[in-house]
Amino acid sequence: MNNYLRSGFFILLISGLFSNFAFALDLNAGKEKAEGVCAGCHGKDGITAILPSYPILAGQHQDYLSQALHDYKSGARKNAVMSGIASTLTNEDITNISAYFSTMPSPLHLKIRQ
C-alpha cells in the first residue's frame, strides 16, 4: 500500500511539472494576452513604453517577469496600476506572457565593452 501511495505522489509531481512546462510553450497565447494587456503601456514590442520610466519587458528573464507579476498579483510588490492588471491574470496567463516577452529581441542584451 505504501508503494502505491509513493507511486501516486510521484506521478502527480511529475504531471504537475510537465503541465507548468506546457504553459511556457504557448507563446501564441502569451503574445495575444500581452498585446491586449501589456502593449498599451509597455509597447507592442515590449520596448517602446509610453513613459521612459516604464521598464522594458522584451528580453527580460522569464522567471523574473513571472515572479514580478505574481508579486503584483499577491500585493507583495506595490504598484496600483500593475496590481490591478496582474489581478486579472491567471497563473497560465502569467506563464505565457513571461515566456513570450523573454523570447523577444531586446536592447537589454549585453554588449562587449570597448
pLDDT in tens, 57-73: 999 999 999 999 999 99
CATH 1.10.760.10 fits 27-102, yes or no: yes
**pLDDT of 25 strictly over 60:** yes
Q: Where are the domains of the chain?
A: 27-102
What does the pLDDT read at residue 32? 97
Phi first, then psi, for residue 51 (nearest 5°) are -130, 140
**pLDDT at position 17 over 80:** no
Kindly report the average pLDDT of the chain as a whole number.
85
Residue 108's pLDDT band (boundaries 50, 70, 90)? confident
Of 52 and 111, more confident: 52
